[in-house]
Amino acid sequence: MDKTKCLIVGGGPAGLSAAIYTARAGLDTLVLGCAPKIEGDYDIDNYFGFETTISGRDLIERGRRQAARFGADIRCEKVLGIHHGDLGGFKIKSDQNEYQACAVILATGVSRTKPKIPGIADYEGKGVSYCVSCDGYFYKGRPVVVLGEGVFAANQALELLNYTPNVSICTQGKAPTIPAEFLARLESAGVSVTTDTITALSGQPALNSVTFGSTETRAVDGLFIAMGEASSTDFAYTLGVARNGQFLSVDSEMKTNIEGVYAAGDCTGGFLQIAVAVGEGALAAKSAISWLKEKCPKG
Ligand SMILES: Cc1cc2nc3c(=O)[nH]c(=O)nc-3n(C[C@H](O)[C@H](O)[C@H](O)COP(=O)(O)OP(=O)(O)OC[C@H]3O[C@@H](n4cnc5c(N)ncnc54)[C@H](O)[C@@H]3O)c2cc1C
The pLDDT, as a whole number, for residue 243 is: 94
Count the neighbouring beta carbons within 10 Å of the beta carbon of residue 126. Answer: 13
CA–CA dist 232, 248 (Å, integer):
7
Is CATH 2.40.240.10 correct for 2-112+231-295?
Answer: no
Q: How many Å apart are CA 19 and CA 71, to the nearest integer?
A: 9
pLDDT of residue 13: 98
Angle at 263 between CA 262 and CA 265, to 5 degrees: 155
Q: Which residues pair with 74 in a beta bridge?
A: 31
Q: Return d(Cα 183, Cα 192) in angstroms, integer.
A: 9
CA dist 237 and 121 (Å) reads 17
Q: Measured between alpha carbons, how far is 64 from 67 in angstroms, rounded to an integer? A: 5
Which residues lie across from 186 on neighbouring strands? none
Ligand 1 touching residue 14 (CB < 6 A): yes
- CB of 15 closer than 6 angstroms to any ligand 1 atom: yes
Cα 64 → chain centroid: 20
Q: How far does the centroid of ligand 1 lie from the alpha carbon of residue 204, in Å?
A: 40
Instruction: Find out whether the beta carbon of 277 lies less than 6 Å from any atom of ligand 1.
Output: yes
Give CA separation, 218 vs 121, 167, 194, 215, in Å: 20, 13, 14, 10
Q: Residues 6 or more apart from 125 whose CB is under 8 A from it?
A: none
DSSP letter (8 states) at residue 85: -
**Which residues in 247-281 are b (16+ Cβ under 10 Å) and which e?**
bbbbeeebbbebebbbbbbbbbbeeeebebbbbbb
Beta strands in 226-295 (DSSP E): 243-244, 247-248, 261-263
Segments of the chain assigned to CATH 3.50.50.60: 2-112+231-295, 120-225
Phi–psi pair at 12, nearest 5 degrees: -95, -165
Residue 14 and residue 38 in contact, taking contact as beta carbons nearer than 8 Å = no
pLDDT of residue 111: 73
Q: Is the CB of 33 under 6 A from ligand 1?
A: yes
Which pLDDT does position 141 carry in this prediction? 97
Look at ligand 1, atom 8, and give the residue with the nearest C-alpha: 44
- CATH code given to domain 120-225: 3.50.50.60
Ligand 1 atom nearest the C-alpha of 276 is: 19
pTM: 0.89
* Cα–Cα dist 216/213, whole Å: 7
Tell me what pLDDT residue 113 has.
Answer: 66
Nearest atom in ligand 1 to 32's CA: 43
- Ligand 1 centroid–CA 44 distance in Å is 13
Q: State the Cα–Cα distance between residues 232 and 8, nearest whole angstrom.
A: 12
Nearest to 31 by CA among 40, 42, 43, 22: 22
pLDDT along the chain (299 residues), means of 10: 95 98 97 93 91 95 98 97 94 96 96 83 90 89 97 95 97 95 96 95 96 91 94 93 94 98 96 95 98 85
The two beta strands, 261-263 and 198-202, are unpaired
Residue from 32, 34, 108 whose mutation best tests the ligand 1 pocket (most atoms within 8 A of CB): 108
